[in-house]
Amino acid sequence: MTAPDDAPAASRHDAATDAPLSFFVSNGDGYLPTKLTKGPWGKSLAGNYVGGLLGRSIERIVDDPDLQPARITVDLLRPVALRAVRVQANVVRHGRRIQLVDAVMTQNETLVARATALFLRRSEPGPGTVWTSPITMPAPPPENRTLAGDVPMFMWAYGRDPIAGTPGIGVDEWRHDGQKFAWMRETKQLVDHEPLTPFIRAVMAGDVTSSLAHWSTDGLHFINADYTLTLSRQPIGPDIGLASMSHYSYRGVATGVVTFFDRQGPIGSGVSTALANPGFTPPPSLTIRPESAE
């Protein structure tokens, strides 16, 4: 017998803080969110966990190691309540050089989100050099970081100060009209005891495209309707960097682009489309300073 949709998730917890060690717990053919998954737009799941769960479902049915996840688009169709969800993926096309996979997320049999991912077969690159816009990413924060057990994501924001930056989402750092940067790292597992894969880390980071690209001198006043992440390769290591590249908006509709990095260099781009919306309230765990940053 499975637990009801609004039953509390039974998961492993941090012994010191009693905080869950995963964002979701398997529950029959669905997933129960833990308390860490609440997003900044009310009593609903944060988009990065929605995208992560869809990306996990997609990755699990692609069994060819030579296929590179090159693009995923996540459509956030409705607010997802903090209750059980189900996710299902299927292969749309399986060719020699490409594989296209769809995934859907439902809640109480209602479609709430979906994703489409494109996998491409790796091969030798062509000759010559191709131009790209130069970007200087701030150095990653120190490796030795002690965080409180209820911090779901470590983020180090850079804005006015591109050298030092500050811990937490850039409530103050990003309130300017120049380029914005961030380094981030997920601190919990996505489902049960499963370690995060590079692809899932990248997909979860993709949701931050909207925040970074659309943050204004007066804070964040756009909510993302979707995001697309393109990857030339998968990230190496747990830290993922983001550099804002553009924001265009007109009459409450916005598009934004971000370049993604790991510690070795750029790996791809994120694109977000968003609607003007009030009510952004970042979780306290993403606005406070870590216990130790040294």
CATH top-level class of 22-121+145-286: mainly beta
Could you tell me if 202 and 229 are in contact, meaning their C-beta atoms sit under 8 angstroms apart? yes
pLDDT of residue 19: 76
pLDDT of residue 286: 66
Q: 101: which 2 tokens?
A: 């996979």
pLDDT of residue 153: 83
pLDDT of residue 291: 47
Rg (CA), the chain: 19
Backbone angles phi, psi at 31, to 5 degrees: -140, 130
Rounded Cα gap, residues 221 and 37, in angstroms: 21
What pLDDT tens digit does each residue of the chain (294 aa) get? 233 344 444 556 654 456 788 999 999 999 999 999 999 999 999 999 999 999 999 999 999 999 999 999 999 999 999 999 999 999 999 999 999 999 999 999 999 999 999 999 999 988 999 999 999 999 988 776 666 666 778 889 998 776 778 888 888 889 999 999 999 999 899 999 999 999 999 999 999 999 999 999 999 999 999 999 999 999 999 999 999 999 999 999 999 999 999 999 999 999 999 999 999 988 766 665 444 443
Domain boundaries defined on the chain: 22-121+145-286
pLDDT of residue 294: 39
Closest by CA position to 284, among listed 23, 82, 17, 38: 38
What pTM was estimated for this model as a whole?
Answer: 0.90
- DSSP sequence for 141-172: PPS--B--TT--EEEEEESS-TTT-EEBS-TT
Distance, first Cα to last Cα, the chain: 47
3-class SS at 284?
helix
